[in-house]
Structure 1
Amino acid sequence: MKKVFKRVTALIMATLMLGSIISATAASNRASDYFDSYYFSFKMLGSGNMRITYGVFGTETMSKIGVSKIWIEEEVGPNDWVTVDTRGSSYTYNNMDHLASFDYGGSVYSVYRVGMTAYAQNSYGSETKTYYSEPVTCKTK
């Protein structure tokens, strides 16, 4: 009976230890204490015009969240990008996320991507991160 008790106890302890290792690994894989995710979308409006929508999502309610800078880059060669437009800051206060959009007049068949410097602040501190969209080809619609 003592052997069974020792084996059951050892099995329970091993399971608990394994669970704490998995939890620690999952926590360390999170990208940030401030940012949960980000979002970009492109809607072709016609004649090279497009609407770019972007979002930054916090891990909790932030006192300030948004972007300190957002820019558009055009591909001028294989993996060679040139900034063609820059926008200023845009923030939301006391919220978990910040969503916004703007229109851009591009050239049909040119390839673009958007970069942003995201910013989040809460009572513990702040953080900035740079994110890029996937490249998109500007279309007539």
Structure 2
Amino acid sequence: MNTTAPGGIGIEHDPANQRAGDAPETIRAPLDTMPTSSFSSSNVHSALYDFGSNDLYVRYLRDGPDAIYRYWQVGAQTWSGLVDASSKGGYINRNIAYDFPYTLLTTGDFPQRGHGLDNDLARRFVTDP
């Protein structure tokens, strides 16, 4: 699967790594986010890392703010590399998109506050465009 924001580097995913949509019932703490204000990217809107489950959630620009990819079992070092990367899209292409199973989700796939989305960071990541 190849998706590209206008004027951006395409993020490519190995179709063999795609899994059926299974949004988490809860996003656990401790969490770390990479909000849009912390970087400039032509492809990546924001990202959230769940240190409890080692899941990485990435919102991409090219599919609109409702497109969230969940990458499973991503190590903390990979998350740190993404945070520090000068090109978020390039880093994802080289280190994440082809290496980890993923699920494409929408904001509607996540539980509402009081039903697993009580953490303020997770709620803002999922609900703020």
The TM-score bracket by the shorter chain reads under 0.3
Higher strand share: 1
TM-score (norm 1): 0.23
Q: Which has the higher contact order (CA 8 A, sep 6+)?
A: 2
Higher helix share: 2
TM-score (norm 2): 0.25
Q: Greater CA radius of gyration, 1 or 2?
A: 1
